[in-house]
């Protein structure tokens, strides 16, 4: 009975030509493949083409761009198949918009080095003059749109007349799925092996977020012809999409005398109001001898973005490009200079720096210690502290200066601390699965403060050790974090980090101790990206203009006017302009106030948007003359 009904449905569909309609749509898409291919190939024309890179680019185009269009067309067919003309019109309109977007995005990327998203599109529409567009530009855009409409009309007409093979839909669909799988497997292997002929292509593709890691990456690697020698050979070429730094860095001769040690300490997820004499008494004591920045932004609400901005001194929007070209860049200019001055390095962080490519992008050629004794974060942070202290003791007996970086994890959710640090009560574990807007965060907050108090005690051990060894007057100490942690502050059921860019996730404590510098409380806007230019100018005597190597500014120079802040996350980013946040997604912009995610942000000033655009493009190659520029060495 069921079999007979299925046969009846097939006959009905066949009689009414529904299958033929779907074949027609798929044929039209198949004829669009060369058009999409040519447009996207224009984006990567500077690539160092090998057989593998060409194959990878082809699979990306088929699997990442054509496959979604097939899925959308199929969904439209399922919704509209009884309405033939409406189906063709809507599918044709979607195809026109898609091809038009790819082409316009190409021209925008060539000029401005950004891919079009809704935020920039809205700005262009609302303020043409600020963007510097002439009426003739829109005339040309309109002509392009009309040309694409005419092209698609012709393609759809041709698709009607072409004979459609019986298994065309199946073969085409399988090909696209295999292409997607192949492209991501290639990228996973190339990412793991730092093969920049593949990884450096990522920034050129619009809205492209490839897979970066997989537990079977080594197994995949045996199937793909990327040898270790090939990966190393690429590191010397100019395949980079970046122009970082923009000039060779020069230093004054006085910078060679009495080089200080540098100690940078991260407390994971540290909130800005939690630097005080009750939660963090040891850090607070040091802050009384330091510069404390009370209006400070991290560079990301995730560990990668927050760490990247602090060490590179450039906006987190560059992370994808830096990560893709890390073999060419080598390390950020600060780390390069420390290596050149023969600093000893002690990098201690149980934060997956190797897997997340932070090691390759920031500490290339430097050992990163990620494994510590103990089963709990409490025990591991204690062991890490002991190893940092041993490193400091060892370096004290040597003539070379040292840099130590320590990243504590006990105050990352779920917060952990020994019983003696249970000083804020009541505190107990709460299950956030059942939390809502009205959940009282007091238990969660006290739990968080107890863990932060424990980490402060460990940091106190490091500070006391530096002091007892006579190193405090020779050591710059930076104490901050990668990002903050939200505790349902807006009663909007936001907890932790990585979910928005309000001040509860993006504003953090920042304590900078420089021997001999008078203590100060600084309340103007500062950012993680300001540390590098501050150290380069104040400590190491770099004579270059800051914009040769950083988007930041000297922490001790008060900015004039409004200062925009760029904050990154896992796949998106936000612009913070005064008390307004503009959270950027490819097809959506979320706008809210810095201190209240429930309140709508004001429109951004056009002149500040122009400044942001200049900054997020500053270190990209934007002319043929850039091709011979400095690429990090």
DSSP-based three-state secondary structure for 247:
coil
Sheet containing 511-513, strands listed edge to edge, beginning at the edge strand earlier in sequence: 368-369, 344-349, 402-408, 261-267, 475-480, 511-513, 291-293, 520-522
HEC sequence for 534-580: HHHHHCCCECCCHHHCCCCCCCCCCCCCCCCEEEECCCCEEEEECCE
- Antiparallel, parallel or unpaired: β 261-267 and 475-480: parallel
CB atoms within 10 A of CB 23: 18
Does the pLDDT value for residue 623 go beyond 60?
no
pLDDT at 126: 62
CA distances from 288 to 88, 246, 292, 466, 513 (A): 71, 38, 8, 17, 9
Residue 401: both structure tokens together: 């200066």
**What is the C-alpha separation between 492 and 376, in angstroms, rounded?**
31
pLDDT tens across 145-172, in order? Answer: 999 999 999 999 999 888 888 889 999 9
CA triple 9-13-19, angle to 5 deg: 135
User: Taking the alpha carbons of 546, 550, 552, 554 in that order, is the dihedral positive or negative?
Assistant: negative
Mean pLDDT of the chain: 87
User: Locate tokens 């400590």: which residue?
Assistant: 539
pLDDT at 312: 98
pLDDT tens across 371-401, in order? Answer: 999 999 999 999 999 999 999 999 998 878 9
Convert 135-145 to b/e letters by CB count within 10 Å (16 or more is b): eeeeeeeeeeb
User: Do 577 and 564 touch, CB atoms closer than 8 A?
Assistant: yes
CA distances from 149 to 74, 152, 156 (A): 21, 5, 11
Kindly indicate the confidence band of residue 630, based on its pLDDT and cuts at 50, 70 and 90.
Answer: very low
CB atoms within 10 A of CB 455: 31
Does the pLDDT value for residue 226 go beyond 90?
no
**What is the C-alpha separation between 392 and 460, in angstroms, rounded?**
14
**Contact partners, residue 259, CB within 8 Å, separation at least 6:** 341, 343, 401, 540
**pLDDT above 90 as % of the chain:** 60
User: Taking the alpha carbons of 188, 191, 197, 199 in that order, is the dihedral positive or negative?
Assistant: positive
**What is the C-alpha separation between 260 and 256, in angstroms, rounded?**
10
Mean pLDDT confidence for 240-253: 86
Residue 391: both structure tokens together: 């490193």
**What is the C-alpha separation between 148 and 32, in angstroms, rounded?**
11
Beta bridge partners of 476: 262
Question: Angle between the 67-80 and 18-43 helix axes, to the nearest 10 degrees?
Answer: 150
Closest CA to 519 of 556, 553, 552, 554: 556
pLDDT at 199: 82
Does the pLDDT value for residue 13 go beyond 60?
no
Whole-prediction pTM value? 0.82
Closest CA to 21 of 159, 148, 176, 173: 159
Does the pLDDT value for residue 429 go beyond 50?
yes
Kindly indicate the confidence band of residue 4, based on its pLDDT and cuts at 50, 70 and 90.
Answer: low
pLDDT at 265: 98
Residue 116: both structure tokens together: 């079009």
Beta bridge partners of 345: 403
User: Do 382 and 458 touch, CB atoms closer than 8 A?
Assistant: yes
pLDDT at 609: 87
Domains identified in the chain and CATH numbers: 12-234 (no CATH), 259-565 (3.40.720.10)
What stretch of H or E contains 307? helix 303-312
Kindly indicate the confidence band of residue 124, based on its pLDDT and cuts at 50, 70 and 90.
Answer: low
Within its chain, how far is the Cα of 406 from the centroid?
22
Mean pLDDT confidence for 515-523: 96
User: Do 340 and 250 touch, CB atoms closer than 8 A?
Assistant: no
**What is the C-alpha separation between 612 and 600, in angstroms, rounded?**
21
Mean pLDDT confidence for 552-561: 93
């Amino acid at each position: 009975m069921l079999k007979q009904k299925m046969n009846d449905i097939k006959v009905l569909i066949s009689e009414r030509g529904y299958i033929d309609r779907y074949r027609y749509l798929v044929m039209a898409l198949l004829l669009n493949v060369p058009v999409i291919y040519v447009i996207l190939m224009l984006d990567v024309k500077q690539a160092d083409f090998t057989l593998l890179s060409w194959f990878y680019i082809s699979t990306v185009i088929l699997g990442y761009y054509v496959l979604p269009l097939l899925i959308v067309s199929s969904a439209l067919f399922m919704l509209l198949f009884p309405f033939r003309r409406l189906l063709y019109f809507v599918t044709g309109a979607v195809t026109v918009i898609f091809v038009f977007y790819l082409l316009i995005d190409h021209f925008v990327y060539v000029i401005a080095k950004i891919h079009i998203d809704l935020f920039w599109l809205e700005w262009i529409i609302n303020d043409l003059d600020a963007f510097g567009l002439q009426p003739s530009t829109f005339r040309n855009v309109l002509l392009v749109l009309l040309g694409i409409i005419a092209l698609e009309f012709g393609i759809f007409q041709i698709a009607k007349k072409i004979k459609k093979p019986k298994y065309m839909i199946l073969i085409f669909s399988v090909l696209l799925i295999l292409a997607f799988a192949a492209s991501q497997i290639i990228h996973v292997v190339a990412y793991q092996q730092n093969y920049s002929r593949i990884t450096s292509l990522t920034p050129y593709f619009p809205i492209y977020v490839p897979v970066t890691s997989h537990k079977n990456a080594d197994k995949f690697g045996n199937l793909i012809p990327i040898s270790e020698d090939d990966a190393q050979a690429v590191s010397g070429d100019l395949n980079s999409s970046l122009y970082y730094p923009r000039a060779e860095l020069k230093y004054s001769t006085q910078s060679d005398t009495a080089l200080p040690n540098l100690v940078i300490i991260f407390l994971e997820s540290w909130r800005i109001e939690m630097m005080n004499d009750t939660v963090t008494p040891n850090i607070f004591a040091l802050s009384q001898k330091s510069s404390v920045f009370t209006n400070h932004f991290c560079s990301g609400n995730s560990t990668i973005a927050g760490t990247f901005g602090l060490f590179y001194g450039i906006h987190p929007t560059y992370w994808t490009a830096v990560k893709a070209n890390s073999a060419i860049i080598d390390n950020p200019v600060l780390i390069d200079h420390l290596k050149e001055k023969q600093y000893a390095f002690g990098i201690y962080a149980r934060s997956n720096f190797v897997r997340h490519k932070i090691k390759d992008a920031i500490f290339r050629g430097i050992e990163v210690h990620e494994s510590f004794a103990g089963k709990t974060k409490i025990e591991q942070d204690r062991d890490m502290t002991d190893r940092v202290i041993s490193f400091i003791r060892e370096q004290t007996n040597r003539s070379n200066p040292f840099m130590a970086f320590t990243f504590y994890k006990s105050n990352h959710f779920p917060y952990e601390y020994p019983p003696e640090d249970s000083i804020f009560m009541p505190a107990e574990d709460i299950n956030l699965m059942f939390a809502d807007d009205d959940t009282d965060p007091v238990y969660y907050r006290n739990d968080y403060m107890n863990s932060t108090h424990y980490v402060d005690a460990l940091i106190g051990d490091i500070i006391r050790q530096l002091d007892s060894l006579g190193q405090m007057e020779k050591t710059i100490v930076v104490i901050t974090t990668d990002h903050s942690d939200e505790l349902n502050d807006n009663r909007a059921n936001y907890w932790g980090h990585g979910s928005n860019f309000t001040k509860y996730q993006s504003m953090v404590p920042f304590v900078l101790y420089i021997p001999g510098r008078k203590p100060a409380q600084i309340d103007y806007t500062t950012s993680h990206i300001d540390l590098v230019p501050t150290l380069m100018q104040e400590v190491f005597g770099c004579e270059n203009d800051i914009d040769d190597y950083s988007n930041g500014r000297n922490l001790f120079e008060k900015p004039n006017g409004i200062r925009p802040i760029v904050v990154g996350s896992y796949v998106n980013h936000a612009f913070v302009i005064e008390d307004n946040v503009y959270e950027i997604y490819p097809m959506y912009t979320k706008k809210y106030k810095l201190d209240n995610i429930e309140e709508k942000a004001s429109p951004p000033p056009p002149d500040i948007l122009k400044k942001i655009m200049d900054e997020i493009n500053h270190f990209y190659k934007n002319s043929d003359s850039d091709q011979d520029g400095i690429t990090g060495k």
